[in-house]
Amino acid sequence: MSTPTSDELDVLVVGAGFAGLYQLDRLRNLGYSVTVFEAGSDLGGVWYWNCYPGARVDTWAPLYQFSREDLWRDFDFTELYPGWDEVRRYFRHVDRKLELSKDIRFSTRVIGAEFDEERRQWEVRARDERTGETSSVRARYLVLCTGFGSKPYVPEIRGLDTFAGECHHTARWPQGGLDVTGKRVGVIGTGASGVQVIQESAPDAAHLTVFQRTPNLALPMRQQQLDEAANRAMKESYPERFAMRATTFAGFDYDFQDKGALEVSDEERTAVYEKLWETGGFVSWLGTFNDIFFNAEANATAYAFWRDKVRARITDPATAEKLAPTVAQHPFGVKRPSLEQRYYEVYNQDNVDLVDLQDTPIERVTATGVVTADGREHALDVLVLATGFDAVTGGITAIDICSTKGDSFADVFAAGTRTHLGTATAGFPNLLYVYGPQSPSAFCNGPTCAELQGDWVVQCLEHMRKNGLTRIEATPEAEEAWGEHVAELTADTLFPFAKSWYMGDNVPGKKRELLAYPGGLPTYLQKCAEAAERGYEGFVLG
């Protein structure tokens, strides 16, 4: 049943994660009529949907929040790497301070949109996830803040729909939780969510079976509990740390070393790796030597250090070879590392089995378990699909947004991503995205990207309003040039030497290409600023 509405907005924002909330607050304060549509029933974006056991942030808490002092001054985290429930507590805090929910329609999934050229408005169709009713709203501008992980990917596995036990994708975990105590649990996938579920469930499950396709080059988290004194001490450096974000490759408060791994002695190289390892977190990934992602020989030194550190924690040599192979299956760091607290020790437990899918692929799922190619049925009560996402582009292509030529994003992106500056695509006027394809997105701290890329979107809309303009569209020539620029940068890196969701490899039929901008946040921001200074070069304004 369709229920048309007469709503007419300046801006409709899709998604109530960091990026969407930032747009709502900034635009509302500038006098725009703006509403956010959110498919979930609460704030948080990815943190609404991802509430599986062990789900937590892989960024230091000080940097995983908005930079406004009136928001961070009176909020304390209890852990250096907050869990999903604490991130939700943070969003509730932001909501209380800024009163955002009054302009958000929850449980409202955007399902389609068409551009009305005569009125220069988007007519957006949405479905109420509680009632199934559809409605429509008109907006001058449509800003997509769907993130890189809003469309879960479930591989085609024969018989999956016949499993009689509990079966959930990590990104669609029951909001009320699921107790695995005393149950036989199977986890398919060892990406970030897989690592977290595995290390969290292993102590409680009667038996845990891990189905691994590719070893995860996980890094030590070095979790810390934070009391009031620790929070107070950290906040003294917040202004400087936030200011530093725009100057670093990934929008953190640290950056790569100013030297290469092959420029120093073996002793110095090892000492640097040891220091990074003890610091923990992504520092071993994004604070390491500056040639790791470009030079295979340099990269091999990083992998060897990681391998030896991990193998020392695993008692069975055969298991160690599967988790940390003698010869790397891909370069270090070109698949997103996960952060772990006790992941490798899990495999020393008697109740944990590791199934290497390269040796024995999954043949089918039955009502009672998973059958592998060796004929063995792994009996299960709970099956966890930690199989990732149709990353970066999936959240956009999942919506039936129609271009002025009658094509959907799925059609336009079928032969490869097409954007200008990672913010807009030809044929879709007045539509911008934050944290989208060919922007820093997956290579950048989320809140940093929400604010710094988000500022460019706000400034663009302000330029339009102040100059009496009502239509902006990227040109095909500009998006062609941006695509070539991204491809040239990618060719100089080691990223193409791994099958990863960064490259779109995890989704059959998806074009193989680097989906995020690999040139670093400072270069990206500079190029966006230059386009704006030149009257939004690469766009047609009218």
The C-alpha angle 294, 299, 305, rounded to 5 degrees, equals 160
User: Collapsing DSSP states into helix, strand and coil, what is residue 82?
Assistant: coil
Whole-number percent of the chain with pLDDT over 90: 99
Is it the case that residue 252 has pLDDT exceeding 50?
yes
Whether the CB-CB separation of 324 and 307 falls below 8 Å is answered with yes
40-64 tens-digit pLDDT: 999 999 999 999 999 999 999 999 9
Boundaries of every domain in the chain: 2-43+100-151+390-541, 160-228+246-385
Q: What is the mean pLDDT of residues 254-261?
A: 98
pLDDT at 7: 80
Taking every pair of C-alpha atoms in the chain, what is the biggest distance, in angstroms? 70
Comparing CA positions, the residue from 156, 149, 145 lying closest to residue 171 is 149
Is it the case that residue 1 has pLDDT exceeding 70?
no
Q: What is the mean pLDDT of residues 459-477?
A: 98
- Domain 2-43+100-151+390-541 identical in fold to domain 160-228+246-385: yes
Mean pLDDT of the chain: 97
Task: Measure CA 166 to chain center.
Answer: 26
Helices 18-29 + 84-98 axis angle, to 10: 10
Cβ burial of 474 (10 Å; 0-12, 13-18, 19+) is buried
Q: Which residues of 134-163 are buried (b: 16+ CB within 10 A; e: fewer)?
A: bbbbbbbbbbbbbbbbbbbbeeebeebeeb
Is it the case that residue 490 has pLDDT exceeding 80?
yes
Confidence of residue 250 (pLDDT cuts 50, 70, 90): very high
Is it the case that residue 6 has pLDDT exceeding 90?
no
pLDDT at 2: 41
Per-residue tokens: 155: 């591989």
Comparing CA positions, the residue from 3, 14, 29, 2 lying closest to residue 104 is 14
Alpha-carbon distance of 138 to 89, in angstroms, equals 33
Is it the case that residue 11 has pLDDT exceeding 80?
yes
326-360 tens-digit pLDDT: 999 999 999 999 999 999 999 999 999 999 999 99
pLDDT at 383: 98
- The answer for residues whose C-beta is within 8 angstroms of residue 151's C-beta and 6 or more apart is 389, 390, 394, 395, 397, 398
Q: What is the mean pLDDT of residues 95-107?
A: 98
The CATH T-level fold of domain 2-43+100-151+390-541 is: FAD/NAD(P)-binding domain (3.50.50)
2: β partners = 134
Looking at beta carbons, which pairs linking 108-114 to residues 24 or more positions away fall under 8 Å? 108/37, 108/38, 108/39, 109/37, 109/39, 110/14, 110/37, 110/39, 110/399, 111/399, 111/400, 112/399, 112/400, 112/401, 112/402, 113/142, 113/399, 113/400, 113/401, 113/402, 114/402
pLDDT at 126: 98
CATH homologous superfamily of 160-228+246-385 equals FAD/NAD(P)-binding domain (3.50.50.60)
Alpha-carbon distance of 68 to 90, in angstroms, equals 13
372-400 tens-digit pLDDT: 999 999 999 999 999 999 999 999 999 99
Based on DSSP, count helices (H) and strands (E) in the chain, helices before strands: 17, 20
pLDDT at 447: 98
Write down the residue that tokens 């060919």 correspond to: 438
Alpha-carbon distance of 251 to 515, in angstroms, equals 18
Is this model's pTM higher than 0.85 or not? yes
Alpha-carbon distance of 381 to 204, in angstroms, equals 13
291-312 tens-digit pLDDT: 999 999 999 999 999 999 999 9
